[in-house]
Structure 1
Amino acid sequence: MTKNASLHARRGAAIPRGIANAFPVYPQRAEGSEIWDVEGHRFIDFAGGIAVLNTGHRHPKVMAAVARQLEAYTHTAFQVLPYEPYIEVCERLNALAPFSGDAKSVLFSTGAEAVENAIKIARAATGRPGVIAFAGGFHGRTTLTMALTGKVVPYKKKFGVSPPGIYHLPFPAEDQGVTVADTIKAMDFLFRADIDPTDVAAIIIEPVQGEGGFLPAPTELLVALRATCDKHGILLIADEIQTGFARTGKMFGIENSGVEPDLVTVAKSLAGGFPLSGVIGRAAIMDTVEPGGLGGTYAGSPVACAAALAVLDVILEENLLERAKILGGKIKAALDGFATRNNVVPIAAVRGPGAMVAFDVVRERGGFRPDPDATKRVIQAALAEGVILLSCGVGGNTIRILNPLTISDALLDEGLAMLGKALASANV
């Protein structure tokens, strides 16, 4: 039995099947944009731990900052003994906030924690219970964030009825025949049939849907949501957990639209692989919560804060905002080239701002019908070639590319060549 197989057998015996694994591959070490497994196989990482590694695996500056913090202290609980790294991260986030006026931030550990606390803050600030989210959106796996998530299987199946006060609107998607006008019409219907807008605390939206298929929210929709929020005193929450920290060519994805949110949730690539999340919000809104209403034992770990400060430096020093645009252009050009070939599985709808790029695997060239079986073949063929990819989308046929923004041109080209081979070998 191979080392991977042996570990996977142990995993099956010790860990419930409710936690799925994309691949039975167990890393031994990683560096930059590359991973080596326990059997010595080398992979180019186009998954980034699900968009966590915009600055790559073990960036030297991040690792040095973590090492210094480990020599000082690892935990005090910020609510017991506060520490400077937490304050400094919040100061940096406040300065980056994608809205005008004063900002304040609070830190947590996971994306779901950030979303839950954004909803708590919105409800405290407005005195209202209702929250509107979108079909296809992903906001977490806790009871509240699972309710916000707009996909039943696998996130809600067998877990019972969702908490009250959560409503979903259709998300604009060409392949599903949903337009912005359809979404606005559905919102008007919601306000007539189910909840008065004066009972809605917040509308939460991903500037680019992640799990939903890397679907950018049209600027027209975001403008309309902002106008609706302003009219009815509703808060607009931008869930930037996957789109944040340079992935889209802006620090935050919503900046591509020019629309200003009231609250922003962040996590994933904030701390280069260390667990850290947060909520950035307008100062007056953030201060509506009573002392003790926010926090968590591990929230804002000093080690993760040290990593985050280094990540923010790297984004600036290595000009990753511009690098994301360059990488995205190269990736989309390669995918457009693959789409013209007759010897590969049919692909369509190459899309995404910056380096948040995806494409769909379809049943026929020029069509929209999803082919999830072919998508699985492509993913497995890519792994055999040596590149790690992830699928997503409501039809299970979207392949997303989330390589580190620090990847070299040579490694990117090598990974894209492997993807091209995988598309060809999956064309059976």
Structure 2
Amino acid sequence: MNQRKGISTALGLIHPITIEKGLNAEVWDENGKRYIDFVGGIGVLNFGHCHPDIVGAIQQQATQLTHYAFNAAQHRPYLSLMAKLVELIPIEEELAGMFTNSGAEATENALKVARTVTGRTGVIAFDGGFHGRTLAAVNLNGKATPYKTGLGPLPGPVYHIPYPSADNGISAEQAKQALTRLIQVEVDIANIAAIIFEPVLGEGGFHMMDRSFAQYLREFCDEHGILIIIDEIQSGFARTGQHFAFSHLGITPDLLLLGKSIAGGLPLGAVIGLSRHMNALATGALGGTYSGNPLACAAGLATLDILQSAEFQHTVQHYIDTLEQRYQHWQQQQLSPWLGRLTGVGAMRGIELQHPQYGTGGAVLAQVLSQARAQGLLLMPSGQAKNIIRLLTPLTIHPETLAEGLDILENVLAATADMH
């Protein structure tokens, strides 16, 4: 029987297995085979699969109220979660926000806010960025194939410039020159509503934005009346070692996008920003039938409790230290000529496969993924050349499980030594 009967072939699949059960950083397929999950359901499970506190919150909420559209009548989980988030986010100015069903939907609503506040339509985004697959969000992505293939003209206008990072060799000065050229040659700066970026590229290879360039952008946007939208859909909720990755850059956004790990695996996103911006739209302009569903918000409240616990913070630091130490050990022992840079920051790390003679290793990474899966480890590719292992391990992973997963990764990386 075709297991994917009725499923569109436009949905990609990295691992041809069917997951039945998950617990913390481990999952089991329908045949009972166990895997250590370094994918985290694509970055959604910073707090692990089926965390008992999150499951308990969902179960309790399910006995009280499973749904009510917030535009029709408000409910306590939505009110409580938003109140806690605006207190948690390290921005001094008063904040306001809304919940969405996903990160992509948060992106779409942020664009609505930026257009309304500025009266402009243009957006500047970055090469390698990813902000969703919905029609306006997909045009922000700094990668054409497969996301924009066959779609024709997309909502915009959107302009892309290089993403400066120590991880990709693009300097802050190069990015500044590209921005200067853009506003001198292609677009009137008075038509730009927002600049959107990920503080650490997700699908783009876990490259962290140059701090000096981020600060330059903040000054540039303030000077020209442009909003900064920071996409923390993947980098938020302790993935980089900070609650939010923009703290590493020394700036604050006008609008902040959240999603993925916000609700421990349930569908929830948010756009939160300066209240003077978020309150500029007409009443009724924002909302959605399922946005901020009570079950998802209850899960979100539980995740915030975990996020702020001393035990969780200790576990995150252990993960960061262990990964960095193991990578340094691999370098010292010259594990494989394919072993490239450790990209990113904190627990948001990528391992680049880059051979001094053969170049980027997209084909080699495909073999690494297959061999790791056979040995019980799930990995995820990233980067423009699909040559970076994207590590999105649950931050609650037990030390023994982490060591076991890194042992498997070491084995498969060592096996690449003679590949070309």
Tell me if both proteins adopt one fold, taking TM over 0.5 as the criterion. yes
Say whether the 8 Å CA contact 1:236–1:262 is kept in structure 2. yes
- Amino acid of the structure 2 residue aligned with 1:413: A
For residues 27 and 100 of structure 1, what CA distance do their matches in structure 2 show?
43
For residues 168 and 131 of structure 1, what CA distance do their matches in structure 2 show?
9
For residues 246 and 368 of structure 1, what CA distance do their matches in structure 2 show?
36
2:185 is equivalent to residue 193 of structure 1: yes
In structure 2, the partner of 1:353 is: 345
In structure 2, the partner of 1:398 is: 388
For residues 399 and 307 of structure 1, what CA distance do their matches in structure 2 show?
29
The 5 Å alignment of 1:21-420 reads: 21-173=13-165, 177-342=169-334, 344=336, 346-364=338-356, 369-420=359-410
Cα distance change of structure 1 residues 28 and 175 upon mapping to structure 2, 3 Å threshold:
closer
How far residue 338 of structure 1 moved from its aligned partner, in angstroms, is 2.1
For residues 279 and 313 of structure 1, what CA distance do their matches in structure 2 show?
20
SS at match of 1:362: strand
Say whether the 8 Å CA contact 1:139–1:145 is kept in structure 2. yes
For residues 188 and 318 of structure 2, what CA distance do their matches in structure 1 show?
45
For residues 20 and 375 of structure 1, what CA distance do their matches in structure 2 show?
17
- Amino acid of the structure 2 residue aligned with 1:10: Q
For residues 53 and 64 of structure 1, what CA distance do their matches in structure 2 show?
16
For residues 269 and 121 of structure 2, what CA distance do their matches in structure 1 show?
24
For residues 96 and 71 of structure 1, what CA distance do their matches in structure 2 show?
28
SS at match of 2:247: helix
- Amino acid of the structure 2 residue aligned with 1:394: Q
Cα distance change of structure 1 residues 190 and 343 upon mapping to structure 2, 3 Å threshold:
closer
Deviations 1:174-230 (A, max 9, x none): 575521111111111111112222221110010000000000011011001001011
For residues 385 and 344 of structure 1, what CA distance do their matches in structure 2 show?
19
For residues 236 and 369 of structure 1, what CA distance do their matches in structure 2 show?
35
Moved more, 238-247 or 321-330: 321-330
For residues 169 and 208 of structure 1, what CA distance do their matches in structure 2 show?
16
For residues 354 and 400 of structure 1, what CA distance do their matches in structure 2 show?
13
Say whether the 8 Å CA contact 2:199–2:209 is kept in structure 1. yes
Cα distance change of structure 1 residues 221 and 323 upon mapping to structure 2, 3 Å threshold:
farther
- Amino acid of the structure 2 residue aligned with 1:312: L
Moved more, 152-161 or 245-254: 152-161
Deviations 1:240-263 (A, max 9, x none): 000000111111100112211111
Deviations 1:255-314 (A, max 9, x none): 112211111000000000000000110111110011110011110111000000000001
Q: Percent identity?
A: 39
How far residue 160 of structure 1 moved from its aligned partner, in angstroms, is 1.5
Counterpart selection for 2:3 from 5, 10, 30: 10
- Structure 2 residues without counterparts, runs of 5 or longer: none
> TM-score scaled to structure 1, two decimals?
0.95
- Amino acid of the structure 2 residue aligned with 1:404: P
For residues 32 and 198 of structure 1, what CA distance do their matches in structure 2 show?
49
How far residue 10 of structure 1 moved from its aligned partner, in angstroms, is 2.3
For residues 388 and 413 of structure 2, what CA distance do their matches in structure 1 show?
13
Cα distance change of structure 1 residues 174 and 258 upon mapping to structure 2, 3 Å threshold:
closer
- Amino acid of the structure 2 residue aligned with 1:61: D
Cα distance change of structure 1 residues 174 and 351 upon mapping to structure 2, 3 Å threshold:
closer
SS at match of 2:20: strand
- Structure 1 residues without counterparts, runs of 5 or longer: 1-5
SS at match of 2:63: helix
How far residue 342 of structure 1 moved from its aligned partner, in angstroms, is 4.6
> TM-score scaled to structure 2, two decimals?
0.96
Say whether the 8 Å CA contact 1:229–1:235 is kept in structure 2. yes
Aligned length: 418
Runs of 4+ off more than 6 Å: none
Say whether the 8 Å CA contact 1:134–1:150 is kept in structure 2. yes
How far residue 347 of structure 1 moved from its aligned partner, in angstroms, is 1.0
- Amino acid of the structure 2 residue aligned with 1:246: A
SS at match of 2:372: helix
Deviations 1:49-77 (A, max 9, x none): 11100000000000000001100111111
- Amino acid of the structure 2 residue aligned with 1:248: T
For residues 415 and 125 of structure 1, what CA distance do their matches in structure 2 show?
47
Moved more, 175-184 or 413-422: 175-184
Deviations 1:82-125 (A, max 9, x none): 10110111111111223221111110011100011011111111
Moved more, 163-172 or 48-57: 163-172
For residues 98 and 147 of structure 1, what CA distance do their matches in structure 2 show?
29
Cα distance change of structure 1 residues 188 and 23 upon mapping to structure 2, 3 Å threshold:
same
In structure 2, the partner of 1:3 is: none
Deviations 1:17-61 (A, max 9, x none): 110111111112111111011111000010101110000000000
For residues 313 and 148 of structure 2, what CA distance do their matches in structure 1 show?
36
